[in-house]
Amino acid sequence: MATDTEQLYQQRLTRYTTAMRNEKPDRIPIRPFVAEFIARYAGFTCQEVAHDYEKAFEATRKCAAEFDWDATVPNMVFVWTGLTQAISMKYYAIPGIHLPADRAFQYLEPPENSAWMSETDYDAFIEDPTGYLYNVWLPRVAEDVVPVGEPSTMRNNLSFVKGGMAMMQYFAGLDRQSGRLRTESGTVAAISGILKAPFDIIADKLRGYKGLCMDLFRQPDKVIAACEAIAPHLLHVATMTADPLRQVPVGLWMHRGCMPFLSPEQFEKFYWPTLKWILCGLHSRGIQTLFYAEGEWNPNLKYIAELPDLSIVYHVDRGDIEEVHRAVGHKFCLSGGIPNDVLAFGTPDDVRAVCKKVIDAVARDGGYIMDASAIMQDDTRPENLRAMTDFTREYGQY
Amino acid sequence: MNEAEKTSRPPGVAVPWEEKVKQLPPMTGDKELVERVWKETDSLGYLYIYFCLLAF
């Protein structure tokens, strides 16, 4: 039994990292990824936690302390909309501005005929991704940023000053938040760093999903070349932002690689080669990745099994977690698998039943971390998350 | 894909030192110091656009 907060932190860190090495800790680590749930629990609106990150930090610390979790994300309401307003980003619907204050922020998919990157821009992007992002993409997505060649404006200049300084302020705040989680409740910051799959970033922020789907048939070689062009940059940024101590993984949320967005054949051709290259590159640097497989990923398990042992922690959303365990449980720690609809609409008894089923099926030999299937928003009932936490603390003892 | 492959503007670089140094007069002091600090601050400009792309 830990007698002080730092001792508790070290005990939890050991528990968490032991599980991520696919070994058996003293008990199953509890690491919920909670986004707008924190607002509901702490009495804030979605607007407050999205637009005032100090309130999001405060709500996260309250949840971490009162639920007594082993690890959590310092701020899972990951987009600080105050910053996106400061640089006048067009692609968010913000609670309290574009949405009711009690709704979570939304990403706005661009119209097919006015994507942030046009279908004829591939060569420019492939030639120089960084130059393209500054010169073409940013003026299209940020209202105040003036396109290259047009007269500059005060608001253009201010966008970079405010954006840069606000970004540094936010990241410094996140560092402080990780420290406060450690010292106030002995909670481990569950992830570090920034990574997206090349295909996802082209879909999400450049071509839009519909536009990219058309490109898969009209100009497939350009899509592949674009993924290859951006991949070294994504590897570099993930490496630069990873935990310097190599204790916690880089978070990787994937949107478009699952069924039915891509068939397994399309996944193999377009999505997987560059993502696998990045994951192997991180592994060779001693960096583990939290492979957050949002949606149904089981048709792609044979590809994921190609990755080096322990290179990822495989998070299960809608896939059959027993099938995942049979396919890759000998290679990777698993997490998740507790359905969000049960957490939102079920009873505490329902939650305990699904937790028991998952633990019995995949966690008997260690290598499992308790969490919901997907990030918990404000529909998760506090009593159900309490049931998931308390049941795991008791039943998850080894 | 070979990790050593170079794009026209490699990862971590917004304005290459080779481009910047052409703007400077002949340096009288420690050229390596100037180069190192340029690269360090330039990398912040690089990270800014990728943070916008990936996180915001």
Q: CB distance A133–B5 less than 8 Å?
A: no
Question: Does any CB of chain A come closer than 8 Å to the CB of residue B54?
Answer: yes
Give the C-alpha separation, A224 to A220, whole Å.
Answer: 6
- Chain B residues within 8 A of A195 when measuring between CB atoms: 54
Mean pLDDT of chain A: 96
Give the C-alpha separation, B40 to B13, whole Å.
Answer: 9
Query: Are A96 and A51 contacting, i.e. CB atoms less than 8 angstroms apart?
Result: yes
Q: CB distance A128–B11 less than 8 Å?
A: no
* Averaged pLDDT for residues A381-394: 98
Nearest to B56 among A83, A231, A237 (CB): A83
Mean pLDDT of chain B: 90
Q: CB distance B14–A231 less than 8 Å?
A: no
Query: Closest chain A residue to B45 measured between Cα atoms?
Result: A164
Q: CB distance A138–B52 less than 8 Å?
A: yes
Q: CB distance B49–A127 less than 8 Å?
A: no
ipTM score here? 0.96
Confidence of residue B6 (pLDDT cuts 50, 70, 90): very low
> Using one digit for the tens of pLDDT, what is the confidence trace for A204-259?
999 999 999 999 999 999 999 999 999 999 999 999 999 999 999 999 999 888 88
pLDDT of residue B46: 98
Interface of A with B (CB under 8 A): 78-80, 83-84, 87, 89, 127-131, 133-134, 137-138, 142, 163-164, 167, 194-196, 201, 205, 228-229, 231-237, 240, 273-274, 277, 281
Q: CB distance A163–B52 less than 8 Å?
A: yes
> Using one digit for the tens of pLDDT, what is the confidence trace for A95-134?
999 999 999 999 999 888 899 999 999 999 999 999 999 9
- What string of DSSP letters covers B8-21? SS-TT-SS-HHHHH
pLDDT of residue A342: 98
Query: Are A37 and A49 contacting, i.e. CB atoms less than 8 angstroms apart?
Result: no
Nearest to B14 among A84, A130, A164 (CB): A130
- What string of DSSP letters covers A117-184? S-TT-HHHHHH-HHHHIIIIIHHHHBTTPPPTTSPP-HHHHHHHHHHHHHHHHHHHHHHHHHHHIIII
CA distance B12 to chain A (A): 7
> Using one digit for the tens of pLDDT, what is the confidence trace for A42-62?
999 999 999 999 999 999 999
- Chain B residues within 8 A of A192 when measuring between CB atoms: none
Query: Are A234 and A278 contacting, i.e. CB atoms less than 8 angstroms apart?
Result: yes
* pLDDT greater than 60 at residue A392: yes
Query: Are A356 and A317 contacting, i.e. CB atoms less than 8 angstroms apart?
Result: no
Among residues of chain A, what percentage have pLDDT more than 70? 99
> Using one digit for the tens of pLDDT, what is the confidence trace for A144-160?
999 999 999 999 999 99
Query: Closest chain A residue to B11 measured between Cα atoms?
Result: A233
Query: Are A230 and A172 contacting, i.e. CB atoms less than 8 angstroms apart?
Result: no
> Using one digit for the tens of pLDDT, what is the confidence trace for A70-93?
999 999 998 999 999 999 999 999
Query: Closest chain B residue to A197 measured between Cα atoms?
Result: B54
Question: Does any CB of chain A come closer than 8 Å to the CB of residue B24?
Answer: no
CA distance B11 to chain A (A): 5
Query: Closest chain A residue to B8 measured between Cα atoms?
Result: A128
- Chain A residues within 8 A of B8 when measuring between CB atoms: 127-128, 131
Give the C-alpha separation, A84 to A81, whole Å.
Answer: 5
Q: What is the pTM of this model?
A: 0.96
Element (H, E) at A67: helix A53-67
